Amino acid sequence: MDNAIIARGNKLKRAVVVVGFACNNNCRFCVTAGKRVFGDKGTIQVKGEIEDAFAKGAREIVLTGGECTIRGDIIDIVSFARERGFLIIQVQTNGRSFSDVEFCKRIIRAGMNEFAPALHGHTAELHDFLTRRKGSFRQTVLGINNIRKLTKSRLNILTNTVITKYNYRFLPEIASLLIKLRVHQYQFAFVHAMGNALKNFKQVVPRKTDVMPYVKEGLDKGLKMNVRVMAEAIPLCLMQGFEQCVSEFRMPSTDIWEKGYKVNNFEFVRKYEAKTRFGQCKRCIRFSVCEGPWKEYPQFYGSKEFKPILN
């Protein structure tokens, strides 16, 4: 699963069901790479978690992995979620399976009504380098085009781009491509130093202050074209002028069904366990609403980049 849960800004309670960790990519920054040994959940377990999520009040569901679309039962799972009454059924994916038009038709008929692919480069060379799968860029872009054409742009396409040391200088170019592809929303998510990203921290994780000019230029491109744009896991002291793009402000109440355990109230866990703030942050006028960076980040880079906003 990508480190960001894509935000849409609605008030529905959201359930995220991680169907397992098998994947047909092997991204250099993958946060769940170390979990692949756990494999995938069985169909009965996934359906049971979907039932549980609905019973607990969720009306929006995100199916994710690993890569959920390589499961042989994914169409059945999507259909089951629709039958249970979920209003939003989002498939979070690397997008490669959607290069097959017939697969697109089947999963749309089954009930998928929100498509959340990941695109990490503006060229095949960059994207395929990051995914470590030749041809993945072509398949993902084709998948986006297929969904847009099949649904005449009525089905929401919400993309996620993980910011890494390899691609941050190209965020404006990635934004231009996504605008050209006519996605409804794109998000830049700062890499979370877990899994492959932690193992290869120095090669993968940039300094936040280095990426910000490119993040802001990429966001600005979308704003000028009336595309919804987001940035995730970037403290507010670095997002000045683009506060309206902060993903965390739009994330709904979310529970996550992982493999072997459940995360109740991900917002609480994200704010108070997964992220951190610093002594100087207490003087910031945004302290009450800023979550700070992922807690692993300052273990390598410290906290001097984060300067309080005083007025």
Domain at 14-301, CATH class? alpha beta
- Residue 2 pLDDT: 47
- Residue 10 pLDDT: 55
Candidates 99, 57, 101, 122; CA nearest to 265 is 57
Task: Record the pTM.
Answer: 0.95
Tokens of residue 299, six digits? 């273990």
- Residue 3 pLDDT: 42
Mean pLDDT by 10 residues, the chain (311 residues): 47 93 97 93 98 97 98 98 98 98 98 98 98 98 98 97 98 98 98 97 98 98 98 98 97 92 94 97 97 98 98 92
- Residue 283 pLDDT: 98
